[in-house]
Chains A and B, each alone.
Chain A
């Protein structure tokens, strides 16, 4: 199970980073969403992976699931969800206003066009 979770986090992060580097609003937002999914799973894993264990330490229990990462993940999910909503709205506003979805600054003058085609 460790291998499965670790590779899932790795693939999500790699995909997220790739999309983030595309520098267009829509792929970047998707990429950041993938990154936040990766980090949510990562936070879960930081409390060690257990199956079928009680979520809190009680008497006579040797193996238990750490409850704190679950609380952290909940906070992280809410925050990243809200932030993604905000960035979608601002990105949409910027796109509708300027008809351009580049995230990076575009060269202002025409003669700089050759180096700014990324």
Chain B
């Protein structure tokens, strides 16, 4: 059963070209195939997560080559959890895309969607830094197509910004990989973790530069201030289901930081000391402050949501930058919450969009389905702003608790609590203008009342909200699991020995004729 670990990458990679080649002109068949693929993906991801839940680390050597020479896929608790989160999110986003008809407003939505999933899954599963770069490019090139799905000038313009920013990020990534390879002679993460400890303290210039470059690349993906400028317009202008799927893409950056900076450049490593508390923590605090201020300042509902994503990434990064097992487990809990909450809000802003001329925060006539949409927005906003009783509140408590022993505790508490207040105000303002004040104006005579969104669209949003509620109700179990996961991340010996010591093809060849 060892081959199942590649299935999350292979399955979308097969479904996507099949959709393009066989079902090009039949949106119905495309929908069925795409949905079947994602449902299969959820089942596979769930069984992989179940398999890894007892601490088993599954290694898959591509072409049976031994680890530092061949590419490996590694499934541990962290990566399988992220794969499961991606596939579940993808299921609801796809249901929404079908229910709202977004997939029919341009060509090849489903094929690009599957390629996007392939890239994200690969990025979570790979154990090789250069392969991580390749999967980043796979998910990016699919996201470029999805980003400008259905066209329009504003969207194309935002698309140009998004693509250019990510191209610069990719170039930086290559510079980082080049310097890492020049310093250590390997790009396999586990092998790298062994080798960086061998570098003497007087020769750390190269590896320091490499680790900072790599952190910058992941910070671009995670939209950390001051590298966040690409996010607001691209997320706001992207089609709503795409923006909701993109909610997982910022988490790819967070995942990569957790993976690389707990295993390879961990805080105890002398060469990269000071990177986490001196640079990452202040940047994360500023992200949270700027993101939540943006929620209050934005003039359009979709920008409100985009800035709240920046803010919640700031929260995740604060927790990561403390680099203790408690804080990483809090960050992992918050990552799940923030993905679901961000996606929910993007979909709700699209529900609003279907009933209005635009998403400006001005008083406009009541949208159809106002009560239900308003209720959902209320729940989503509570979750995102971190009010009790939903998981945002619990996640924030965990982060605050993890920061309790830190010497910068006053800063962290002040900014986290202050920005919560600002985001509550921002969401309250947006919600009251869009849903409440709408009752004060009536439709113009003769103006066409737009149709209500389809039940399937509501069901998809409702499903995401149900997941958020479940994430709150089972918070004890989830946090217990992320705590185990974090403990495993801080003792990566099992991961490293599994990757490096599993024999592959090369060890046989050594004994033979060469």
Point out residues on A near B: beta carbons under 8 Å.
20, 25, 28-29, 32, 35-36, 39, 42-43, 45-48, 68-69, 72, 75-76, 79-80, 82-84, 86-87, 90-91, 93-94, 97-98, 100, 103-105
Q: List chain B residues, Cβ under 8 A from A43.
A: 174, 177-178, 181
Q: Is B175's CB under 8 angstroms from A97's CB?
A: no
**B147 closest partner in A (C-beta):** A90
Q: Is B178's CB under 8 angstroms from A79's CB?
A: no
Q: Is A87's CB under 8 angstroms from B163's CB?
A: yes
Q: List chain A residues, Cβ under 8 A from B177.
A: 43, 72
Q: List chain A residues, Cβ under 8 A from B151.
A: 93
**B167 closest partner in A (C-beta):** A32
The 0/1 profile, CB within 8 Å of A marked 1, for residues 282-296 of chain B is: 000000000000000
Instruction: Give the residues from 211 to 233 in chain B that come closer than 8 angstroms, CB to CB, to chain A.
Output: 233
Q: Could you jot down 27 A-B contacts, CB within 8 Å?
A: A25-B160, A29-B164, A32-B168, A32-B171, A39-B178, A45-B182, A46-B181, A47-B182, A69-B181, A72-B181, A75-B130, A83-B140, A83-B141, A83-B170, A86-B141, A87-B167, A90-B144, A90-B156, A93-B148, A93-B156, A94-B157, A94-B159, A97-B152, A98-B153, A100-B157, A104-B161, A105-B161
- Whole-angstrom distance between the Cβ of A40 and the nearest chain B Cβ: 8
In the assembled complex, B354 has its CB within 8 A of some CB on chain A: no
Sort chain B's interface into a size bin: 20 to 34
Q: List chain A residues, Cβ under 8 A from B168.
A: 20, 32, 35
**A71 closest partner in B (C-beta):** B130
- Whole-angstrom distance between the Cβ of A90 and the nearest chain B Cβ: 5
- Whole-angstrom distance between the Cβ of B462 and the nearest chain A Cβ: 35
Task: Tell me, in angstroms, the Cα distance from A46 to B185 when the chains sit together.
Answer: 9
The 0/1 profile, CB within 8 Å of A marked 1, for residues 135-163 of chain B is: 00100110010001001110011011101
In the assembled complex, B134 has its CB within 8 A of some CB on chain A: yes
Q: List chain A residues, Cβ under 8 A from B181.
A: 43, 46-47, 68-69, 72
- Whole-angstrom distance between the Cβ of A28 and the nearest chain B Cβ: 6
**A33 closest partner in B (C-beta):** B167
- Whole-angstrom distance between the Cβ of A86 and the nearest chain B Cβ: 6
In the assembled complex, B179 has its CB within 8 A of some CB on chain A: yes
- Whole-angstrom distance between the Cβ of B62 and the nearest chain A Cβ: 14
Q: Is B167's CB under 8 angstroms from A83's CB?
A: yes
Task: Tell me, in angstroms, the Cα distance from A93 to B151 when the chains sit together.
Answer: 9
Chain A residues touching B, majority SS: helix
Q: List chain B residues, Cβ under 8 A from A93.
A: 148, 151, 156
Which of B148, B164, B174 makes the CB contact (< 8 A) with A39?
B174
Q: List chain A residues, Cβ under 8 A from B163.
A: 83, 86-87, 90
Task: Tell me, in angstroms, the Cα distance from A103 to B165 when the chains sit together.
Answer: 10
- Whole-angstrom distance between the Cβ of B481 and the nearest chain A Cβ: 36
Task: Point out which of B148, B159, B164, B177 has the most chain A C-beta atoms below 10 A from its C-beta.
Answer: B164
- Whole-angstrom distance between the Cβ of A15 and the nearest chain B Cβ: 13
Task: Tell me, in angstroms, the Cα distance from A109 to B349 when the chains sit together.
Answer: 25
Q: List chain A residues, Cβ under 8 A from B130.
A: 72, 75
Task: Tell me, in angstroms, the Cα distance from A46 to B75 when the chains sit together.
Answer: 30
Q: List chain A residues, Cβ under 8 A from B140.
A: 83
Excluding A80-B167, A93-B151, A97-B153, 9 further A-B contacts by CB distance (< 8 Å) are A39-B171, A46-B181, A47-B182, A68-B181, A72-B178, A83-B141, A83-B170, A87-B163, A100-B157
Q: List chain A residues, Cβ under 8 A from B164.
A: 28-29, 32, 87, 103
Q: List chain B residues, Cβ under 8 A from A28.
A: 164
- Whole-angstrom distance between the Cβ of B431 and the nearest chain A Cβ: 24
Q: List chain A residues, Cβ under 8 A from B157.
A: 94, 97-98, 100
Q: List chain A residues, Cβ under 8 A from B182.
A: 45-48
Query: Would A46 and B179 be within 8 Å (CB), given that A72-B130, A86-B144 are in contact?
Result: yes
Q: Is A90's CB under 8 angstroms from B170's CB?
A: no
**A101 closest partner in B (C-beta):** B160
**9 A-B pairs closest in CB distance:** A46-B182, A94-B156, A97-B153, A46-B178, A39-B174, A98-B153, A43-B178, A46-B181, A87-B163
Task: Point out which of A68, A90, A91, A104 has the most chain B C-beta atoms below 10 A from its C-beta.
Answer: A90
Query: Would A90 and B160 be within 8 Å (CB), given that A72-B177, A79-B137 are in contact?
Result: yes
- Whole-angstrom distance between the Cβ of B112 and the nearest chain A Cβ: 12
Q: List chain B residues, Cβ under 8 A from A105.
A: 161, 233
Task: Tell me, in angstroms, the Cα distance from A42 to B160 when the chains sit together.
Answer: 27
Task: Tell me, in angstroms, the Cα distance from A69 to B179 when the chains sit together.
Answer: 11
Task: Tell me, in angstroms, the Cα distance from A98 to B152 when the chains sit together.
Answer: 10
Q: Is B141's CB under 8 angstroms from A82's CB?
A: yes
The 0/1 profile, CB within 8 Å of A marked 1, for residues 254-285 of chain B is: 00000000000000000000000000000000
Query: Would A90 and B148 be within 8 Å (CB), given that A46-B178, A79-B134 are in contact?
Result: yes
Query: Would A83 and B148 be within 8 Å (CB), given that A25-B160, A68-B181, A76-B174 are in contact?
Result: no
**B181 closest partner in A (C-beta):** A46
Task: Point out which of A68, A79, A98, A100 has the most chain B C-beta atoms below 10 A from its C-beta.
Answer: A79
The 0/1 profile, CB within 8 Å of A marked 1, for residues 162-206 of chain B is: 011001101100110111011000000000000000000000000
Task: Point out which of B140, B156, B167 has the most chain A C-beta atoms below 10 A from its C-beta.
Answer: B167
Task: Tell me, in angstroms, the Cα distance from A39 to B167 when the chains sit together.
Answer: 12
**B166 closest partner in A (C-beta):** A83
Q: List chain A residues, Cβ under 8 A from B152.
A: 97
